[in-house]
Amino acid sequence: MGPATDGILLIDKCMGETSHGVVKKTRFAFGGANRAKVGHAGTLDPFATGLLILLVGQGTKLSQFIMPGQKVYSATLQLGVETDTLDLTGKVVATADVPAMTLEHVQETAKAFVGTLHQVPPAYSAVRYQGRRAYELARKGQAVELKAREVTVHSLRVLSVALPEITVHIRCSSGTYVRSLASDLGEALGTVAHLRSLRRIKSGPFDVREALSSAEIGRIQGPSLLERVIPMREAIPQLGEISVSEHTAEKVREGCQPDWEELMLGWDEKADFSPDFQNGWIKLVSGGKLVAILQVAPGEGGRQGKAKIERVFA
């Protein structure tokens, strides 16, 4: 069996590159815009580095199943200086003295930012506001008043304090803005702050140590690049799995909903059918290949469950 042509590609994005630029460069390396469909599962700001998950071919259908995964970052914030973008690329809008503080004091203060938070996204963000991207309006000097969103910070470890800089390790939900977190932490410490550096270490089950540097794209072409593509079935290891016959697989590809009895024949008893498990999404596979992703709701009290096709793959 040759290399996968549909799946995901793990990239370690270099500083200064845009996520769209990496997508465009990768598409060209695969043989041009008309030969390979390439997207991404969550952007990184140009100043940030680290794990960028690219979606290749039919892998572009996996975005909604990959993006919600937890993220892990290493970040350095600089105290005493606030910028309009909340990072090092913006204009300075405020300065303040940096009070003396110990590592223990910063660690204690950081505890308030662990758990469920209501976070206001930065004005310079891709969040939509009045039908436009917020950053488009902010760049024109227009006021942007974004609503707070619920995010979860699972852990926030303070690694070092070398004033005016503080380095932290963050594990958080998708949609968390580390720039906002840095600004809020600076305020809690009695000063202002902006994000000096940001590196995404993990996204869901994938680690940047497994990734190909974006600087290598272009030097590695077509077939060699395809060898780095993770097949679709392996790209979503967090989902439970059901194996079906090729006959059932073809019916599903033609749009037929599989009945519950057919699914139970291929049920892996290790799979978790709880509706809370990734929203009840289950992989349907045949012959080792991903056929579809189903949304499954198990029955109660001996009743049959229900299955709805979410995505189908050729």
Query: What's the confidence (pLDDT) of residue 75?
Result: 98
Based on the residue annotation, tell me whether 45 is a catalytic residue of this protein.
yes
Quick: pLDDT tens for 27-74: 888 875 456 789 999 889 999 999 999 999 999 999 999 998 899 999
- Residues of the chain short of pLDDT 70, as ranges, are 1-4, 32-35, 125-126, 129-132, 134-138, 140, 144, 265-279, 298-305
Query: What's the confidence (pLDDT) of residue 5?
Result: 83
Query: What's the confidence (pLDDT) of residue 137?
Result: 63
Query: What's the confidence (pLDDT) of residue 213?
Result: 96
Question: What pTM, to 2 d.p., does this model score?
Answer: 0.87
Quick: pLDDT tens for 218-239: 888 777 888 899 999 999 998 8
Query: What's the confidence (pLDDT) of residue 32?
Result: 58
Query: What's the confidence (pLDDT) of residue 304?
Result: 63
3-state secondary structure the chain: CCCCCCEEEEEEECCCCCHHHHHHHHHHHCCCCCCCCEEECCCCCCCCEEEEEEEEHHHHHHHHHHCCCCEEEEEEEEECEEECCCECCCCEEEECCCCCCCHHHHHHHHHHHCEEEEECCCCCCCCEECCEEHHHHHHCCCCCCCCCEEEEEEEEEEEEEECCEEEEEEEECCCCCHHHHHHHHHHHCCCCEEEEEEEEEEECCEEHHHCEEHHHECCECHHHHHCCCEEHHHHCCCCEEEECCHHHHHHHHCCCCCCHHHHHHCECCCCCCCCCCHHHEEEEEECCEEEEEEEEECCCCCCCCEEEEEEECC
Query: What's the confidence (pLDDT) of residue 245?
Result: 87
Mean of per-residue pLDDT scores for the chain: 87
| From 6, 45, 87, 184, the catalytic residue | 45
Query: What's the confidence (pLDDT) of residue 191?
Result: 98
